[in-house]
């Protein structure tokens, strides 16, 4: 049943989902999802108007088609070989929606794929091959080490010292920072690779389950800003540059799976696998339309439909396992106005599909620490926002203008 709801009801539903998701994952794998989001707020302030990570962004649309190898390696609908519509969000790192496009940091590529039969799959990728924490508690500790103590207005020195000791004992946590320091920002959203950083499990047509990570490699090649351009390009050039580029022709990325070798860590996203590991091109993403201004249909999406079982499933990477529940809490605070008893109304039409389902899967022998059943709980929201661009809405089929997601 579908019915119209107030944003406050949406907030309650998202919080309920976070509880379900948190209960579905072993407690040792993650702190409470509220704790994760509270750590963000300790550093950034209340999350009410925009997402806490990569809030400066741009909506786009296009399509994705698997290669024959993609169809061979995954039975998921997204890899059927048919064209999937794609709703895309490019983003700029940081917590500031006015962040500079020429500042060092990651750029983001988030995608919602929809198959001709309506199957959804989502992902969030960054322009660095590694993440900045190996497990959720370390992520929380890193945030809190930078948070100001309410009593002093400064970071707590004991907490900062404890985290510094942790970093010294776990040098891989600094790999993302070292990569960003060594690689200048891109000249375009279209000229940087975007990595998934976490391990997923792909079930092929032969029934074999293979662990893999992916990267979207730009067909235009990798191009980065010079030191002079970082000073001269200004704070807001990426959106207009992408609009001009797409107006001249589709912007394309190859989706490449990388497979691990002996001894590679499947569950630690702070360590990249060596470049000489086997790689296979499994699909091509084409960006064919870009929103004329800020906002758009990608804004209310958290890009957290992370599997299409049995073709694509999450590994037991604890960072990956923690994401959906924390994103559900974050979403609830944004669209629901936080903890206020009567949050402000939103423009557009908001609907909730009250559908809760669960399934239990197994990772298969040897992947992610052996056979470990997991239950996935989905509270599917259907949110229909106002569309601000005829180009975007024309490039998406009617189902893709509604968002249905576990967050």
The residue annotated as part of the active site, out of 50, 54, 63, 135, is: 54
Q: What's the CA gap between 60 and 214, in Å, rounded? A: 21
DSSP string of 113-182, one letter each residue: EE-TT--EEEEEEESSSS-S-SSHHHHHHHHHHHSBPTTTSSB-HHHHHHHHHHHHH-GGGGHHHHHHHH
How many other C-beta atoms lie within 10 A of the C-beta of residue 219? 15
Instruction: Say whether 135 is catalytic.
Output: no
Measured CA to CA in angstroms, residue 229 lies from 185, 232, 233, 271, 295 at distances of: 10, 5, 5, 30, 27
In sequence order, the 6+-apart residues with CB closer than 8 A to the CB of 34 are 18, 329
Half-sphere exposure of 266 toward its Cβ, with a 13 Å CA cutoff?
A: 19
Residue in 54, 28, 36, 112 with CA at minimum distance from that of residue 325: 36
Residue indicated by tokens 């500031």: 96
> Known catalytic residues?
54
């Amino acid at each position: 049943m579908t019915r119209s709801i107030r944003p406050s009801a949406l907030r309650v539903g998202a919080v309920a989902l976070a509880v379900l998701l948190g209960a579905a994952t072993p407690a040792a794998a993650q702190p409470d999802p509220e704790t994760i989001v509270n750590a963000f707020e300790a550093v950034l302030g209340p999350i009410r108007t925009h997402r806490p990570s990569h809030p400066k962004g741009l909506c786009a649309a296009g399509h994705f088609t698997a290669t024959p190898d993609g169809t061979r390696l995954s039975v998921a609908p997204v890899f059927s070989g048919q064209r999937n519509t794609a709703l895309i969000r490019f983003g700029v790192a940081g917590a500031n929606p006015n962040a500079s496009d020429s500042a060092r940091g990651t750029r983001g590529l988030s995608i919602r794929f929809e198959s001709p039969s309506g199957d959804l799959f989502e992902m969030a990728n960054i322009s660095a091959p590694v993440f900045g924490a190996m497990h959720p508690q370390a992520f929380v500790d890193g945030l809190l080490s930078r948070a100001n103590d309410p009593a002093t207005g400064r970071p707590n020195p004991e907490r900062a010292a404890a985290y510094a000791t942790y970093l010294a004992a776990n040098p891989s946590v600094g790999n993302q920072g070292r990569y960003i320091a060594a690689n200048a920002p891109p000249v375009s959203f279209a000229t940087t690779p975007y990595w998934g950083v976490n391990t997923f499990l792909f079930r092929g047509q032969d029934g074999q389950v293979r662990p893999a990570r992916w990267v979207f490699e730009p067909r235009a090649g990798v191009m980065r800003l010079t030191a002079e351009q970082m000073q001269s390009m200004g704070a807001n050039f990426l959106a207009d540059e992408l609009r001009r580029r797409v107006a001249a022709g589709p912007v394309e990325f190859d989706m490449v799976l990388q497979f691990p070798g002996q001894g590679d860590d499947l569950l630690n996203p702070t360590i990249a696998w060596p470049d000489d590991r086997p790689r296979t091109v499994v699909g091509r993403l084409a960006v064919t339309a870009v929103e004329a201004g800020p906002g758009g249909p990608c804004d209310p999406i958290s890009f957290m439909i992370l599997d299409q079982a049995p073709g694509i499933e999450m590994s037991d990477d604890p960072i990956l396992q923690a994401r959906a529940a924390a994103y559900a809490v974050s979403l609830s605070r944004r669209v629901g106005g936080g903890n206020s008893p009567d949050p402000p109304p939103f423009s557009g039409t908001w609907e909730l599909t009250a559908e809760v389902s669960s399934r239990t899967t197994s990772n298969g022998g040897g992947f992610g620490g052996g056979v470990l059943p997991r239950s996935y709980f989905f509270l599917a929201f259907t949110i229909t926002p106002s569309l601000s661009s005829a180009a975007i809405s024309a490039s998406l089929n009617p189902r893709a203008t509604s968002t249905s997601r576990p967050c």
